[in-house]
């Protein structure tokens, strides 16, 4: 005998499947995705075998808990720890290019039409002491090839670790400026925002901003709302990576709003790093209600075992956004893309056309 609740549950699941199919078909934009968090597990296993990397496990299923967030307690530092192992895979120019190419191919397969992929040149160079210029070259070569093979536009963001020396930070900014015609569009500051405040980077970021690089900064994730204000004020950030904790301070909310700064929200990541306790408590609807500009992104698809379709599904089914709000977030992302004004305008119009056809 069928209980009514069974039928309701069944209908709900069928609706979810319908919703997921709809979201998968939707053309998308991801502004906040880390190359280092976008590796295919199959590729990891193959590179490990080829280069004799000593791994805790070689089968994909056994490897999963080391590089992916499974059913563990949410924790910011535990989340970051996954990347320590992942950094051992950049063993050769071929490996770096393969990982970058596949990251773009996977995004395109999820119907992402515009992607900004960020990576830390230091993280990619460290395992074999490659030069920062070389790894940047290899990544830009791979994304150029991937864009030709897939229906997607990609720009790169070079990331600086908060614990980095000013000398290295300056080198990364120089590289970003030198690779502008090869797809590099901006810079990012990331890492432990609790223990490494951004003040010392202010002069370098001022120069990058003056020279026209896009600036985004991780803030208001592990640290509080004031960090969001500092990132905008000190580093000239026009976008904030995460920024969800801005909601804790009404002055900061007003400041973000007045400056028209865009938040790069990554729901699943926020759950896994312990920034939010449950998806039902995610501040995304509040941020929208407060009139802030939000976008929805993946952060680290392979570490979080997610796609942008999944993030949209979470945002609608678990957090409570409407499809209209999802489309609005995509158009906000088009407006916030690190592209010349005219290309941004074209991107927005293209998306508006696609949405009109849906």
Residues involved in catalysis = 221
| CB within 8 Å of 196: residues ≥ 6 apart | 162, 163
Closest listed residue to residue 82, CA positions, set 60, 63, 97, 106: 63
Tokens at 239, concatenated: 């976008």
- What Rg, from alpha-carbon coordinates, does the chain have? 20
Burial class (CB in 10 A: 0-12, 13-18, 19+), 88: middle
- Let me know: does 94 contact 130? Beta carbons within 8 Å: no
DSSP string, 132-182: HHHHHHHHHHHHHHHHHHTT-EEEEEEEEETTS-HHHHHHHHHHHHHTGGG
Starting from the edge strand earliest in sequence, which strands make up the sheet with 293-296, in order?
28-34, 112-119, 153-161, 184-190, 214-219, 239-242, 262-265, 293-296
- Let me know: does 267 contact 30? Beta carbons within 8 Å: no
Q: Please give the Cα distance from 178 to 156 (Å, whole number).
A: 13
| CB within 8 Å of 310: residues ≥ 6 apart | 268
Tokens at 322, concatenated: 């409407």
Q: Please give the Cα distance from 43 to 233 (Å, whole number).
A: 41
| CB within 8 Å of 170: residues ≥ 6 apart | 204
Q: Strand (E) positions, the chain?
A: 28-34, 112-119, 153-161, 184-190, 214-219, 239-242, 262-265, 293-296
Closest listed residue to residue 69, CA positions, set 77, 281, 283: 77
């Amino acid at each position: 005998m069928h209980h009514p609740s069974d039928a309701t549950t069944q209908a709900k699941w069928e609706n979810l499947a319908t919703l997921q199919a709809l979201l998968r078909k939707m053309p998308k934009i991801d502004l906040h995705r880390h190359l280092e968090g976008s590796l295919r597990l199959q590729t990891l296993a193959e590179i490990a075998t080829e280069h004799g990397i000593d791994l805790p496990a070689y089968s994909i299923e056994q490897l999963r808990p080391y590089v992916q967030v499974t059913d563990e307690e949410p924790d910011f530092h535990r989340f970051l720890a996954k990347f320590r192992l992942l950094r051992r895979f950049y063993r050769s120019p071929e490996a770096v290019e393969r990982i970058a190419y596949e990251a773009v191919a996977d995004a395109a397969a999820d119907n992402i039409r515009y992607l900004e992929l960020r990576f830390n040149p230091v993280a990619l160079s460290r395992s074999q002491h490659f030069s920062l210029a070389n790894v940047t070259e290899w990544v830009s070569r791979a994304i150029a090839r991937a864009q030709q093979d897939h229906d997607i536009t990609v720009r790169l963001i070079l990331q600086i670790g908060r614990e980095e020396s000013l000398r290295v930070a300056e080198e990364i900014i120089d590289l970003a400026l030198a690779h502008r015609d090869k797809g590099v569009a901006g810079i990012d500051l990331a890492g432990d925002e609790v223990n490494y405040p951004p003040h010392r980077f202010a002069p370098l970021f001022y120069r990058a901003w003056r020279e026209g690089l896009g600036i985004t900064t991780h803030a208001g994730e592990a640290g509080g709302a004031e960090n969001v204000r500092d990132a905008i004020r000190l580093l000239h950030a026009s976008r904030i990576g995460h920024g969800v904790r801005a909601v804790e301070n009404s002055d900061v909310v007003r400041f973000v709003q007045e400056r028209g700064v865009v938040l790069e929200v990554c729901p699943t990541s926020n759950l896994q790093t312990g920034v939010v306790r449950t998806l039902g408590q995610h501040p995304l609807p509040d941020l929208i209600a407060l009139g802030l500009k939000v976008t929805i992104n993946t952060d680290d698809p392979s570490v979080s075992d997610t796609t942008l379709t999944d993030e949209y599904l979470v945002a609608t089914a678990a957090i409570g956004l409407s499809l209209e709000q999802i489309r609005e977030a995509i158009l906000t992302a088009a407006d916030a893309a690190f592209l010349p004004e005219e290309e941004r305008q074209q991107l927005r119009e293209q998306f508006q056309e696609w949405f009109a056809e849906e």
